[in-house]
Structures are given as structure tokens and as C-alpha cells.
């Protein structure tokens, strides 16, 4: 956590400790719990340079192993807003989180419905800031659609169906690139 500042009193007051059952992703787990106790924010300015090497534990850990920990964290986060996700919903969540290839338009539609469900449930429970959450979900939606341009204009039509899609602005260049790839039915490699 080289770029995090937090008062120790938050850890003490809410009895927050590392979950030792997590061999990896302990930091992600602890931060996902901290956001339920106190206000958190990201600075837009980069204040740290971080070096990645192939021998990092996260880089060297098998994907399935890593995903098992992510599933636990995602389930806890979703439970906080009142969602008990099905296995299929967790699978969709993992597709978004790890930018896995989307198998078809039906799966893309399922992702859209899943993102809408997360947004609607949070709006009902008011756990996370709705604008911030929708901006994050919009970014994931744009990314999922960008990786699905091989389905052609049907992807563009589906992209436009999500009501809060405009909460994330990828910028003019990326938006035009996305539209052109949809027009050409560009399949990623």
C-alpha cells in the first residue's frame, strides 16, 4: 500500500484487520471493507511510480486461484448493496473485472442487465455514491462493448441501451474508434 494514507483510528474503531485466509488480494479485500466504514477518495495526480516484475506474487499466481479470492471479495461487496449474486452473475462480474472475451451478443446483453441490476440495487440501498458507481459501471460497459465490436452494429445498438452509459466519457478518439470498429465488425485477436 505505498500510495495509501489512512488514519489508524479507522482500523481500530471498526476492528479492521487483514483476512489471513486470503493468500493474495489481501489489499483489495481490506480496502473493499474500509469503504463501507469511512469516506475514501483517489487523487487524480500520480504520486508514485510502481515497478512490476514477472516474479510478483500476483503475476505468478494461477488465474483460477486468483479468481477464487476475487469471487469472495465481489460477493461481499455485492452483499453490502443487497445482492446475493448467482454463480452466473459472479461469472459476468469476473468477465468485466478481468476483461475476458465475451462469447456472444447474449452474453453482452446479460452483462448489460447485470450492470443495470447493480446500479438499481445501489440506488435503492444508497450504499455507494450513485454517480461514482455509475461512472465506474459505464467505464466497464464501454470496455465490454469495445471488446465486442466483432458483433458489428448490434454491439453499438446494445451499447446505447444502457441508460447511464454516458456517465463515462472515453473521449472523442476512443468513441470514434469504437464506432468505426462496430461498423467494420472488427474482431479482436
pLDDT at res. 103:
92
What is the arithmetic mean of pLDDT over 156-180? 94
The pTM of this model reads 0.74
Angstrom distance (rounded) from CA 119 to CA 125: 10
Angstrom distance (rounded) from CA 63 to CA 94: 11
Return the number of other C-beta atoms located less than 10 Å from residue 66's C-beta. 17
Q: Give the model confidence (pLDDT) of 96-122 as tens digits.
A: 988 888 999 999 999 999 999 999 999
State yes or no: pLDDT of 126 exceeds 60. Answer: yes
Among 4-8, 54-58, 171-175, the minimum mean pLDDT is found in: 54-58
pLDDT at res. 61:
52
Angstrom distance (rounded) from CA 186 to CA 189: 9
- Please write down the HEC assignment for all residues of the chain: CCCCCCCHHHHHHCCCCCCCCCCCCHHHHHHHHHCCCCCCCCCCCCCCCCCCCCCCHHHHCCHHHHHHHHHHHHHHHHHHCCCCCCHHHHHHHHHHHHCCCCCCHHHHHHHHHHHHHHHHHHHHHCCCCHHHHHHHHHHHHHHHHHCCHHHCHHHHHHHCCCCCHHHCCCCHHHHHHHHHHHHHCCCCC
**How would residue 67 be classed by pLDDT, with cut points 50, 70 and 90?**
confident
Cα–chain-centroid distance for residue 104? Answer: 20
State yes or no: pLDDT of 18 exceeds 60. Answer: yes
CA torsion sign, 44 to 121 to 74 to 64? negative
Nearest CA to 166 out of 120, 121, 131, 126 is that of 131
Amino acid at each position: 500500500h505505498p500510495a495509501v494514507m489512512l488514519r489508524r483510528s479507522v482500523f481500530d474503531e471498526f476492528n479492521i484487520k487483514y483476512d489471513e485466509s486470503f493468500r493474495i488480494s489481501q489489499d483489495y479485500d481490506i480496502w473493499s471493507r474500509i469503504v463501507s466504514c469511512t469516506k475514501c477518495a483517489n487523487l487524480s495526480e500520480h504520486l508514485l511510480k510502481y515497478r512490476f516484475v514477472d516474479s510478483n506474487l500476483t503475476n505468478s499466481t494461477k488465474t483460477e486461484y486468483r479468481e477464487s479470492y476475487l469471487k469472495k471479495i465481489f460477493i461481499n461487496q455485492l452483499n453490502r448493496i443487497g445482492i446475493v449474486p448467482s454463480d452466473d452473475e459472479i461469472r459476468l462480474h469476473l468477465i468485466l473485472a478481468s476483461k475476458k472475451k465475451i462469447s456472444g451478443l447474449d452474453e453482452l446483453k446479460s452483462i448489460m442487465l447485470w450492470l443495470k441490476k447493480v446500479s438499481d440495487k445501489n440506488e435503492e440501498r444508497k450504499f455507494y455514491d450513485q454517480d461514482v458507481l455509475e461512472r465506474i459501471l459505464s467505464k466497464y460497459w464501454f470496455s465490454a462493448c469495445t471488446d465486442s465490436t466483432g458483433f458489428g452494429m448490434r454491439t453499438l445498438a446494445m451499447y446505447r441501451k444502457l441508460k447511464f452509459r454516458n456517465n463515462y466519457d472515453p473521449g472523442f478518439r476512443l468513441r470514434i474508434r469504437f464506432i468505426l470498429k462496430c461498423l467494420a465488425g472488427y474482431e479482436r485477436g
